[in-house]
Amino acid sequence: MCGDCKNFETIAVHGSCEWSENTGSISVPIYQTATFKHAGLSQSTGYDYSRLQNPTREELEKTIARLEGGKEGLAFSTGMAAIDAVARLFLPGDHVIISDDLYGGTYRLFEDVYKNYGIEVTYVDTTNLEEILKAIKHNTKAFYIETPSNPMMKISDIKKISELARNNGVITIVDNTFLTPYFQKPLDLGADIVIHSGTKFLGGHNDTLSGLLVASREDLIEKLRFAQVSIGATLSPFDSWLIQRGIKTLPVRLEKQQQNAIEIANWLKECSEVEEVFYPGFKENKGHEICLRQASGFGSMLSFTVKKKETVEKILGNVQVISFAESLGGVESLITYPYLQTHAAIPEEIRNKIGVTDKLLRLSVGIENINDLIEDLNKSFNK
């Protein structure tokens, strides 16, 4: 290991510094192989089959573990595959408390898949510790939180929730997709497992799918690794290389994206057709002070509601620089309509209760020139 790689930006560029080969390659090689040759009986290179282990994927797993400050990382074919591995920690009769404002795919997984296997779920506003406390049962095994939440940008106090979890003998799972370890490190705040949709900011270019987990406890790592290799939704060598390459520019991209997001959030705030803007960087945001304590940035995700429903269709039909598309976190700015896209799986009454109405839009701000982005928004509002 190169001992001089101590700061985040340097680790992001150089990775774990544990891989080696004798060509002098600066880029981690793509070991595009399904299987590995053995010299003889009971003689192994340490690699047998790429579902079980692959040097390219291992480098990514070690890198994300190092960036998050965890013991080990695990790379999956998608973010949902990573969440599925976490869900497999629970047994029939177990109870999980989950943020009520969360990605629709996560809701669908627990409601339509794991409830059939006897996993009980309660959705609460995890920004309110009293609500979490009231929801705890004798069979509660975990708190699962998104912070900032998707799409309402609600901030949950990771440190206090983790303390509450430890006092009640349960684990804390944090989806850190929106801020990444560059801005927020849940394990340092007491969480046990961190989840990423690596498709988003870690990959950063809207060109590949991946999911990542990092854990701080050996017992959890053992169970998660067993689920990973047994189910087989492991990340391919080439996609592992793409995510590793994306991580190299993560700090630079996030700083630029955040800078753009702050300007756009302020512009939207002054727009006569906008009703409300949801962004953790605003002092009036309910979780602003918590975000200041537990994170070093506010990120580049924001949501806003418009005063008239017709404005939604007008914006989505007129944006040119910003793309009307699902997903987030890439260098290209994307605008999404959660009501019918990312959160369509959530029942309408729940969507309306948490604020995911038919007048809400979510914006993932990219690295384009800020003047082009604001001009694009201005034209889309006024056409």
| Structure-token match 């270019």, residue found | 205
Active-site residue flag, 175: yes
Q: Is residue 3 part of a domain?
A: no
- Write down the catalytic residue from 66, 185, 200, 362: 200
Q: Is residue 191 part of a domain?
A: yes
pLDDT reported for residue 349: 86
Listed residues 211, 227, 248: the one ending a domain: 248
Active-site residue flag, 103: yes
pLDDT reported for residue 3: 57
Residues 296 and 221 in one domain: no
Listed residues 248, 270, 300: the one ending a domain: 248
Residues 233 and 257 in one domain: no
CATH of the domain at 336: 3.90.1150.10
pLDDT reported for residue 2: 62
Residues 61 and 158 in one domain: yes
Q: Is residue 2 part of a domain?
A: no
Residues 201 and 214 in one domain: yes
Question: Which range marks the domain in which residue 329 is found?
Answer: 250-382
Tokens matching residue 136: 């705890």
Residues 312 and 230 in one domain: no
Q: What is the 3-state secondary structure (H, E, C) of the chain?
A: CCCCCCCHHHHHHHCCCCCCCCCCCCCCCCCCCCECCCCECCECCCCCECCCCCHHHHHHHHHHHHHHCCCEEEEECCHHHHHHHHHCCCCCCCEEEEECCCCHHHHHHHHHHHHHHCCEEEEECCCCHHHHHHHCCCCEEEEEEECCCCCCCCCCCHHHHHHHHHHCCCEEEEECCCCHHHHECHHHHCCCEEEEECCCCCCCCCCCCCEEEEECCHHHHHHHHHHHHHHCCECCHHHHHHHHHHHHCHHHHHHHHHHHHHHHHHHHHCCCCEEEEECCCCCCCCCHHHHHHHECCCCCEEEEEECCHHHHHHHHHHCCCCEECCCCCCCCCEEECCCCCCCCCCCHHHHHHHCCCCCEEEEECCCCCHHHHHHHHHHHHHC
Listed residues 248, 274, 302: the one ending a domain: 248
Residues 76 and 218 in one domain: yes
Residue type, 56: T
The segments of the chain whose pLDDT lies below 70 read 1-4
Q: Is residue 202 part of a domain?
A: yes
Residues 286 and 201 in one domain: no
- Write down the catalytic residue from 31, 103, 114, 339: 103
pLDDT reported for residue 6: 81
Q: Is residue 58 part of a domain?
A: yes
Active-site residue flag, 4: no
Q: 245-254 pLDDT, tens per residue?
A: 999 999 999 9
Residues 80 and 190 in one domain: yes
Q: Is residue 1 part of a domain?
A: no
pLDDT reported for residue 1: 46
Residues 123 and 178 in one domain: yes
> How many domains is the chain partitioned into structurally?
2
pLDDT reported for residue 132: 98
Residues 56 and 197 in one domain: yes
Q: Is residue 273 part of a domain?
A: yes
CATH of the domain at 118: 3.40.640.10
Active-site residue flag, 200: yes
pLDDT reported for residue 344: 85
Tokens matching residue 254: 């996030």
Residues 239 and 279 in one domain: no
Q: Is residue 224 part of a domain?
A: yes
CB of 144 closer than 8 Å to CB of 120: no
Residues 309 and 220 in one domain: no
